[in-house]
Amino acid sequence: MNAIKIAIRTETDAIAFYKEAALKTAHPIGRKMFLSIMEDEEHHLEDLNCVLEGLHLKIRDVASPMKKMKTVFERNGDILLERIRPTTDEMEALKVAMQMEKESIEFYEKLSKRESTPKEQAFFERLLSEEQEHYAIFSNTYSFLSDSGNWFMWEEHSIVDGGTPWA
């Protein structure tokens, strides 16, 4: 099976998984996160199908996955202040999501080095970059949900008394 067909299967599986994870996630922010990543994967699938069919790729002017997630968090700041109690299923979904993204990263990394034309290399490097951002989003979310205190200390650069190192 050629690499594009493997990539199509991978993206199709990811879409199905993220859709199911969104349906099972109780917290609205978590649901939006999974749906946003699912939308990215749908774009990847569309692009890969164009490559497979020999069509020209559409140049998309879309925000990076990380920027989209920042927007979701900024718009829903009040919801974030609620006490978050993730279920075991949600934590397991994040673990599976991180593993899926890790495998995609490795796959697109190989393809970006193997493909011959600059256009193909750029295409796979873009997919690689987006999958790396997806992994970072899931990893950060997992850290936040599993140990919010330490997450705030490291991500917000706070010190024990609640101040900031630059204040």
If pLDDT is split at 50, 70 and 90, which confidence band does 104 have?
very high
The percent of residues above 90 in pLDDT, for the chain, comes to 26
Domain CATH code at residue 58 = 1.20.1260.10
Please report whether residue 165 resides in a domain: no
Is the pLDDT at 21 greater than 60, yes or no?
yes
Please report whether residue 82 resides in a domain: yes
* CA dihedral for 131, 132, 133, 136, sign (positive or negative): positive
State the pLDDT at residue 167: 46
Predicted confidence (pLDDT) per residue in 130-166, tens digit: 999 999 988 888 887 776 655 555 555 555 555 555 5
If pLDDT is split at 50, 70 and 90, which confidence band does 40 have?
very high
Please report whether residue 46 resides in a domain: yes
| Contact in structure between 21 and 34 (CB atoms under 8 Å) | yes
Q: Looking at the 3D structure of the chain, how many domains does it have?
A: 1
> Could you tell me the residue range of the domain that residue 80 belongs to?
3-155
Would the pTM count as exceeding 0.85?
no
Please report whether residue 21 resides in a domain: yes
CA–centroid distance for 131 within its chain: 6
Please report whether residue 163 resides in a domain: no
Cα separations (Å) of 137 from 48, 72, 95, 162?
23, 12, 12, 25
